[in-house]
Amino acid sequence: MLSLLLRRVHMYAGLFLAPWILMYAASTFAMNHRPHDRKPPTFERERTETFPGEFAPEATPQQVALQLLAFLDLDGAHNVPRPAADGKLTIQRLDPLHPRRITYQPDTKALIVEKQVFETSAFLERMHRRRGYQHDYWLEDLWAISVDVTIAGIVVWALSGLWLWWELKVTRRIGLLSLAGGVALFALFLKVL
């Protein structure tokens, strides 16, 4: 019964999580072959606006960013670095396909929205690095949960795979050789790297 359950969990988890695994495999491959002198991302101007509203006198950069994103109809996960010395605020609006850079100049109230030009390896790397519960958006939390489920899936595949292998007596000898070979190589890396 346990064996059957493990077999089913192993398989259905694999089928459900296949897109995540494909993304992590492709992005890892891209990062492993990333040139060390890669160029910074390219942005193209999408639109320019003038912000018509006012901010509370003690508004933090985070509160200003929320107000600006709502005005632009771009509310969603974002990062707000510290404003520049002249007060210029740059908001990084996260997006898997087209991240945006929004620049706000307080003295003129000018808003410039720039869209990052799509580039496959950068897209894969963004997906790979997207994780955690730090953003106040339910879809971000749902994605973070899916990442946790993928982590659990990876561990479960390894452990259930070991169990299922041990049950197949005819595969024990070559299986043990494969396992020992992998463990020995990994141990060597731990020593020399």
- In the complex, which residues of this chain contact other proteins (CB under 8 A)? 8, 11-12, 14-26, 28-29, 31-34, 36-37, 76-77, 94-97, 130-134, 139-140, 142-144, 146-148, 150-151, 154-155, 157-158, 161-162, 165, 168, 171, 174-175, 178-179, 181-183, 185-186, 189-190, 192-193
Planar angle of CA 159, 127, 156, nearest 5 degrees: 10
We find the least distance from the C-beta atom of residue 77 to other proteins, in angstroms, to be 7
We find the least distance from the C-beta atom of residue 5 to other proteins, in angstroms, to be 14
Distance of alpha carbon 92 from alpha carbon 89, whole angstroms: 10
**In the complex with other proteins, which residue's Cβ is closer, 55 or 75?**
75
We find the least distance from the C-beta atom of residue 176 to other proteins, in angstroms, to be 8
**In the complex with other proteins, which residue's Cβ is closer, 28 or 60?**
28
* 51, 71 contact by CB (below 8 A): yes
We find the least distance from the C-beta atom of residue 81 to other proteins, in angstroms, to be 16
CA separation (Å) from 178 to 155, 171, 172, 181, 189? 19, 10, 10, 5, 17
Partnered with residue 100 across adjacent β-strands are 93, 115
Distance of alpha carbon 75 from alpha carbon 60, whole angstroms: 17
**In the complex with other proteins, which residue's Cβ is closer, 81 or 181?**
181
- What six digits make up the tokens of 103? 């620049």
